[in-house]
């Protein structure tokens, strides 16, 4: 009897141990390669988003929170240098790609066309991501040849940062405290003249690429133009592009707009705007948090800060916006279990994207735009409409080369090195040459 | 002497010497074998592989690889941007190269004197060389910033001059980068020349002075010939460094304005890693290698010939 009890006890304990072993599976570890910086020292243990407004702090804390709440799917971060492509290419070429990565949307086609990305439409849907919730502007940002490869996380758009005090000096602030914005070519130049005469400063600084490829693209779209023909080939040398470029030359010559293209980082534009030496700066959404911080610090001349949409000069509203997209670079034959887990993490980031809006980036989801939390963020209601009218480079392989080529050629025209016609023709030729190598 | 050796001894001695020579050579080769293996594995074979890639249409990632023979080299000859990048590179080398040698030599001559605190001066003039390219680039982007935001323009303005957009002007951007390069790297050449100057026997100068030679004559006929070897070293290194210029320009202008400062290595990087044209990028790299090889050999040949003369 004693022996029998002992044997039964042993069998029971063994079954418990084995059962325990089978149920406590090793957690799955996903690797996420991203830029946005490394801030482990400051946010390595952070699981509270209160008061965090910077990209690195937010993404690090969100990852920590995920790891805390999901012991079965742990996420390890690999920090890459912006724009993330060199490290990603090396990892893919070595056969050790991360499970998830972040890339600018215009790079999706070249990766997807080489079979480096995992098609995600089904995985996103199964994970519960409502793709219909994406705004009209952002809906096709992560799509290549009809398939979702990436989930657009934000809209890094070109907008107009405004010093309300200087606009008020020119009598251009209405009874609601909003600036009286121009709505066409003539009004734009008249507004510039009025502010210059009242304050002696330009009403828009356009630093770096905010003077070239971004406004050119926006103005082409505002005319209903396109950057690609029906077959998807690049079309930069068009009547709309010439109109857009001539307008850029016109506003540069007016003196009301300064175009320091050499201010690549935009640092001088920030200094001038915050110091009250320009009444506005046309630059990215990512500056909003920076300017808000300066105003709150109270040590700069800028006191009343307003964010407006990119000026509408032609028939339709619209601005250029890039987008950070979350992708799975495991190829088309990836392990479905890993893909599903990756989709879950991407959903988590997307569901919490309102926190990402603190940086200043535009949002890609209609539900987030309507949320109280978003609308309560400073300035967000001033430019929220932008999320519906943004446009980007067509999702074609040549989109990878578009940015650098068009920036350089527009700059050549603005500097007088080339005529607008020659600059656009050269841009077209270079993009077509790029296509020949594909 | 020969008669002092027994018959056959000369042969044995020769054999013994030959054996020792072979043994010494064997030991020497054994010592350099680890380096040689690593060199072949990590330098020589990748170079060969690079050439093989240049004969293909080859993406950075993926399986889009196709043999196209010398097609990349044919395209390259008709590529306007290749020629303009080569022109920019040559222009930079012509601007920065002589400046680096003249300033390095002048500093070395100034600091080769028995003056108080000479160690501090030498350290100070060498110090820019230890800064990273990013630091130098960011600092000089502000030094040459447009309007009244840059140090140079502030100084110009206070002296009654007109401010310039140094890095925005197609004609001024490359000279501005060359000035930055000279400030950054002249200290290295100074160090090489200083070592060379200290190797020249003082007796030669004393003899020259006794013969009534003035400073210029001493410099022309003793210092310069005495610096021939360091000069060759500096010249070869500077030409190679100038032709390979890239990071400094990337930080200062990113090849702008309007592509006017894009050097060949930046173009190579752009085509290879931005456009994923690894085959074409490799062809560019091999053409660059050929240029550098010919120029370096020509420099060495020129200096050796002068030395023999």
Q: Which residues of B touch A (CB under 8 A)?
A: 57, 59-64, 81, 145-146, 149, 165, 167-168, 170, 253-260, 270, 273-277, 280
- Model confidence at A10: pLDDT above 60: no
DSSP B163: -
Residue A4 falls inside a structural domain: no
Query: A201 and A53, same structural domain?
Result: no
A261 vs B contacts (CB less than 8 Å): 168, 256-257
Report, as an integer, the average pLDDT of B294-306. Answer: 84
Chain A contact probe: residue of B176, B256, B261 with most A CBs at under 10 A: B256
Report, as an integer, the average pLDDT of A197-219. Answer: 90
Outline where A70-212 has alpha helix (H).
Answer: 85-93, 108-113, 121-127, 164-169, 185-199
Chain A contact probe: residue of B61, B65, B272 with most A CBs at under 10 A: B61
**What pLDDT, in 10s, does the model give residues B22-79?**
899 999 999 999 999 999 999 999 999 999 999 999 988 877 889 999 999 999 999 9
Chain B contact probe: residue of A84, A397, A408, A425 with most B CBs at under 10 A: A408
Rounded to a whole number of angstroms, the distance from the CA of B257 to the nearest CA of chain A is 7
Contact yes or no for B60 and A93 at CB 8 A: yes
B280 vs A contacts (CB less than 8 Å): 437
Query: A420 and A271, same structural domain?
Result: yes
Number of folded domains that form chain A = 2
- Model confidence at A212: pLDDT above 60: yes
Chain A contact probe: residue of B49, B60, B142, B262 with most A CBs at under 10 A: B60
Q: Which of A261, A268, A400 sits opposite B256 (nearest CB)?
A: A261
Domain encompassing residue A34: 29-155+323-391
Query: A136 and A242, same structural domain?
Result: no
Q: What percent of chain B has pLDDT over 70?
A: 97
Give the Cα separation of A357 and A286 in Å (integer): 10
Give the Cα separation of A348 and A135 in Å (integer): 18
**pLDDT value, residue A364:** 94
Q: Which residues of A touch B (CB under 8 A)?
A: 85-86, 89, 92-93, 110-111, 114-116, 260-264, 268, 271, 400-401, 404, 408-409, 411-412, 415, 417-418, 430, 434, 437
Report, as an integer, the average pLDDT of B109-115. Answer: 90
Residue A10 falls inside a structural domain: no
Chain B contact probe: residue of A85, A101, A262 with most B CBs at under 10 A: A262
Contact yes or no for A261 and B168 at CB 8 A: yes
Query: A355 and A257, same structural domain?
Result: no
Tokens of B191: 């160090």
Helix (H, G, I), strand (E, B) or coil at B71: helix
* CA distances from residue B105 to A187, B98, B129, B219 in whole angstroms, order as listed: 60, 10, 15, 12
Give the Cα separation of B169 and B156 in Å (integer): 17
What is the domain-level CATH number for residue A310? 3.40.190.10
Query: A405 and A261, same structural domain?
Result: yes
Q: Which of B61, B167, B258 sits opposite A89 (nearest CB)?
A: B61
Residue A161 falls inside a structural domain: no
Contact yes or no for A437 and B270 at CB 8 A: no
Contact yes or no for B276 and A271 at CB 8 A: no
Report, as an integer, the average pLDDT of A189-193. Answer: 95
Contact yes or no for B62 and A115 at CB 8 A: yes
Helix (H, G, I), strand (E, B) or coil at A155: strand
- Model confidence at A307: pLDDT above 60: yes
Contact yes or no for B61 and A412 at CB 8 A: no
Report, as an integer, the average pLDDT of B126-155. Answer: 91
ipTM of the prediction: 0.84
**What pLDDT, in 10s, does the model give residues B176-186?**
999 999 999 99
Query: A354 and A270, same structural domain?
Result: no
Give the Cα separation of A44 and A408 in Å (integer): 40
Residue A357 falls inside a structural domain: yes
* CA distances from residue B247 to A301, A349, B250 in whole angstroms, order as listed: 36, 35, 5
Rounded to a whole number of angstroms, the distance from the CA of B62 to the nearest CA of chain A is 5
Query: A364 and A413, same structural domain?
Result: no
Report, as an integer, the average pLDDT of B216-232. Answer: 92
**pLDDT value, residue B72:** 95
**pLDDT value, residue A2:** 54
B254 vs A contacts (CB less than 8 Å): 264
Query: A411 and A385, same structural domain?
Result: no
Query: A299 and A411, same structural domain?
Result: yes
How many contacts does A have with B, using Cβ atoms within 8 A?
A: 72
Report, as an integer, the average pLDDT of A174-194. Answer: 94
Answer whether the bond into residue A228 is a cis peptide, omega within 30°: no
Give the Cα separation of B25 and A113 in Å (integer): 55
Rounded to a whole number of angstroms, the distance from the CA of A297 to the nearest CA of chain B is 23
- Pick from A190, A178, A116: nearest CA to A150: A116
Rounded to a whole number of angstroms, the distance from the CA of B169 to the nearest CA of chain A is 8
Query: A117 and A44, same structural domain?
Result: yes
Closest chain B residue to A89 measured between Cα atoms?
A: B61
A409 vs B contacts (CB less than 8 Å): 258
Q: What percent of chain B has pLDDT over 90?
A: 68
Over chain B, what is the mean pLDDT? 91
Query: A365 and A290, same structural domain?
Result: no
Band (B4; pLDDT cuts 50, 70, 90): low
Report, as an integer, the average pLDDT of B128-154. Answer: 91
Contact yes or no for A114 and B62 at CB 8 A: yes
Rounded to a whole number of angstroms, the distance from the CA of B235 to the nearest CA of chain A is 32
Q: Give the pTM.
A: 0.85
Band (A21; pLDDT cuts 50, 70, 90): very low
* Beta bridge mates, A319: A390
Contact yes or no for A89 and B60 at CB 8 A: yes
The 3-class SS string of A384-419 reads: CCHHHHEECCCCCCCHHHHHHHHHHHHHHHHCCCCC
Give the Cα separation of A111 and A84 in Å (integer): 13
- Pick from A156, A197, A186, A190: nearest CA to A403: A156
Residue A16 falls inside a structural domain: no
- Pick from A312, A316, A305, A308: nearest CA to A383: A308
* CA distances from residue A120 to A62, A304, B31 in whole angstroms, order as listed: 22, 44, 56
- Model confidence at A246: pLDDT above 50: yes
Report, as an integer, the average pLDDT of B234-262. Answer: 92
**What pLDDT, in 10s, does the model give residues A400-434?**
899 999 999 999 999 999 999 999 999 999 999 88
Helix (H, G, I), strand (E, B) or coil at B124: helix
Residue A1 falls inside a structural domain: no
Rounded to a whole number of angstroms, the distance from the CA of A390 to the nearest CA of chain B is 25
A264 vs B contacts (CB less than 8 Å): 253-254, 256
Report, as an integer, the average pLDDT of A134-149. Answer: 93
Contact yes or no for A115 and B60 at CB 8 A: no
Residue A14 falls inside a structural domain: no
- Model confidence at A387: pLDDT above 80: yes
- Model confidence at A19: pLDDT above 50: no
Residue A13 falls inside a structural domain: no
Other CB atoms closer than 10 Å to residue A152's CB: what's the count? 29
Query: A221 and A117, same structural domain?
Result: no
């Amino acid at each position: 009897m004693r022996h029998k009890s002992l044997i039964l006890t042993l069998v029971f304990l063994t079954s418990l141990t084995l059962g325990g072993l089978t149920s406590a599976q090793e957690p799955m570890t996903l690797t996420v390669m991203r830029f946005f910086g490394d801030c482990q020292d400051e946010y390595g243990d952070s699981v509270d988003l209160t008061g965090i407004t910077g990209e690195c702090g937010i993404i690090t804390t969100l990852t920590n929170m995920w790891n805390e709440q999901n012991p079965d799917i742990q996420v390890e971060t690999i920090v890459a240098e912006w724009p993330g492509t060199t490290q990603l290419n090396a990892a893919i070429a070595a056969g050790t790609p991360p499970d998830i990565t972040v890339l600018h949307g215009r790079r999706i086609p070249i990766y997807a066309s080489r079979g480096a990305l995992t098609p995600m439409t089904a995985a996103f849907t199964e994970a519960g991501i409502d793709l219909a919730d994406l705004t009209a502007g952002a809906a096709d940002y992560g799509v290549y040849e009809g398939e979702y490869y990436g989930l657009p996380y934000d809209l890094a758009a070109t907008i107009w940062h405004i010093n309300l005090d200087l606009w008020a000096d020119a009598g251009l602030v209405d009874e609601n405290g909003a600036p009286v914005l121009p709505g066409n070519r003539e009004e734009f130049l008249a507004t510039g003249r009025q502010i210059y005469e009242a304050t002696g400063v330009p009403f828009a600084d356009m630093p770096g690429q905010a003077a070239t490829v971004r406004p050119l693209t926006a103005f082409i779209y505002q005319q209903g133009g396109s950057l690609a023909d029906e077959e998807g080939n690049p079309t930069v040398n068009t009547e709309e592009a010439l109109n857009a470029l001539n307008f850029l030359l016109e506003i540069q010559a007016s003196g009301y707009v300064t175009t320091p293209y050499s201010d690549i980082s935009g640092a001088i534009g920030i200094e001038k705007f915050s110091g009250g030496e320009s009444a506005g700066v046309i630059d990215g959404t990512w500056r909003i948090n920076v300017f808000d911080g300066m105003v709150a610090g109270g040590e700069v001349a800028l006191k009343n800060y307003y964010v407006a949409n990119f000026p509408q000069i032609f028939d339709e509203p619209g601005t250029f916006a890039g987008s950070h997209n979350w992708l799975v670079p495991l190829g088309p034959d990836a392990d479905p279990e890993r893909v599903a887990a990756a989709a879950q993490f991407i959903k988590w980031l997307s569901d919490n994207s309102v926190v990402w809006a603190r940086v200043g980036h535009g949002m890609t989801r209609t539900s987030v735009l309507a949320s109280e939390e978003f609308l309560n963020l400073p300035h967000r209601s001033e430019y929220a409409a932008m999320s519906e009218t943004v446009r980007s480079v067509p999702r074609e392989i040549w989109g990878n080369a578009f940015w650098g080529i068009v920036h350089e050629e527009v700059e050549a025209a603005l500097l007088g090195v080339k005529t607008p016609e020659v600059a656009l023709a050269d841009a077209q030729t270079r993009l077509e040459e790029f296509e020949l190598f594909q | 002497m020969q008669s002092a050796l027994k018959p056959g001894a000369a042969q044995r001695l020769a054999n013994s010497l030959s054996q020792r020579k072979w043994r010494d050579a064997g030991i020497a080769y054994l010592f350099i074998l680890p380096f040689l293996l690593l060199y072949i594995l990590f330098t020589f074979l990748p170079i060969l592989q690079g050439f093989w890639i240049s004969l293909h249409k080859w993406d950075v990632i993926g399986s889009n690889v196709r043999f196209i023979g010398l097609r990349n080299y044919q395209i390259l000859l008709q590529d306007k941007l290749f020629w303009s990048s080569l022109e920019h590179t040559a222009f930079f080398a012509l601007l920065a190269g002589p400046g680096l040698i003249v300033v390095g030599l002048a500093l070395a001559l100034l600091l080769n004197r028995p003056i108080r605190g000479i160690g501090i001066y030498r350290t100070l003039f060498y110090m820019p060389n230890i800064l990273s390219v990013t630091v130098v680039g960011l600092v000089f982007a502000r030094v040459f910033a447009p309007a009244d935001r840059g140090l140079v323009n502030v100084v110009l303005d206070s002296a009654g001059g007109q401010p310039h957009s140094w890095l925005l002007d197609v004609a001024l951007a490359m000279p501005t980068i060359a000035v930055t390069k000279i400030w950054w790297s002249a200290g290295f050449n100074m160090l090489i020349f200083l070592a060379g100057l200290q190797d020249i026997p003082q007796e030669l100068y004393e003899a020259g002075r006794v013969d009534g030679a003035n400073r210029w004559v001493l410099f022309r006929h003793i210092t310069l010939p005495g610096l021939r070897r360091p000069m060759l070293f500096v010249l070869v290194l500077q030409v190679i460094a100038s032709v390979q210029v890239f990071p400094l320009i990337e930080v200062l202008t990113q090849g702008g304005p309007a592509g006017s400062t894009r050097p060949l290595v930046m173009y190579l990087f752009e085509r290879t890693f931005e456009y994923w044209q690894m085959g074409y990028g490799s062809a560019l790299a091999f053409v660059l290698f050929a240029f550098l090889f010919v120029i370096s050999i020509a420099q060495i040949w020129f200096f050796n010939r002068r030395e023999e003369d």
